Amino acid sequence: MAEPSGEPVNSINPLKRSHDELELHQRQTWAWINDSTHTSSHEELRECIAIILRSHPETIPTFADVQRKQFQDRQNAVTRSELYGKVIDFDHFSKSCWKALNVTYSRMAPSKQYMHTQDVVDTIDEAITAIVERSEEAQRLDTYKSALETCRKIGKSIILSDPGEIRKAVMNSPVLESLAEAILDILNTVVMTDEDALEEGLMWVADNIKGYGSDEPWDEVIEKLDEMKQVRPKRRAT
């Protein structure tokens, strides 16, 4: 039986040593990649990507997914900037509704007007939907004010529109209820301060539209406006 040589036995598992070496190699590789991407020019990076994609076409779907995600992230950033960074003006919606009510079909005979009543209702309904959707995520108070003011103008345009088939159809359509619900949604979303003139205008619309279609949503609008007046601090006399 041979005598022990006296040399220490290496107790490190060869598999563990191989794994540790692989991890070290990966860390060094990622460090090199990170350094290269920050120090290389755009042209060099584009050329490098092209070489990789040509040599490893199986990576193309992954690369395309990354590109799509980055594009979507940029689009979302733009949308958030529009919503949070600036005031959205909805006034063009009130103008398009006024035109549909009073200009576009005004010279037509009643029978011809009747054929286009749904077009006018759709114009108003689409405007209300767009106002609600775009103001839902807004954070600027002036955006909410613009939304309420535009809804007030649309309501006033309906009330004061020329008598005829179009006005009759609009006043008996679900769009009046949609308008009340839009106003109520906005009023329940934001705390308005010192807006007596706007509230008076909305109250006028609510009072004059009641009686056409469903009264319930307009009663809720009036109740909400009254509630806002009661909780608002009174101005000091000057």
Note the pLDDT of residue 175.
Answer: 94
In contact, 109 and 166? CB cutoff 8 Å: no
174 contacts: CB under 8 Å, gap ≥ 6: 125, 213
Note the pLDDT of residue 238.
Answer: 40
In contact, 53 and 63? CB cutoff 8 Å: yes
Note the pLDDT of residue 97.
Answer: 94
DSSP letter at 88 equals P
Q: How far is CA 22 from CA 56, 81, 98, 148, 203, in A?
A: 22, 44, 72, 63, 74
Q: What's the half-sphere exposure (Cβ side, CA atoms, 13 Å) at 88?
A: 24
| pLDDT, average across residues 94-106 | 90
Report d(CA 58, CA 48) in Å as an integer.
Answer: 16
* Residues 171-221: tens digit of each pLDDT: 999 999 999 999 999 988 876 655 666 888 999 999 998 877 677 889 999
| pLDDT, average across residues 23-44 | 75
CATH numbers and ranges of domains, the chain = 88-231 (1.25.40)
**Terminal alpha carbon distance of the chain:** 114
Note the pLDDT of residue 121.
Answer: 94
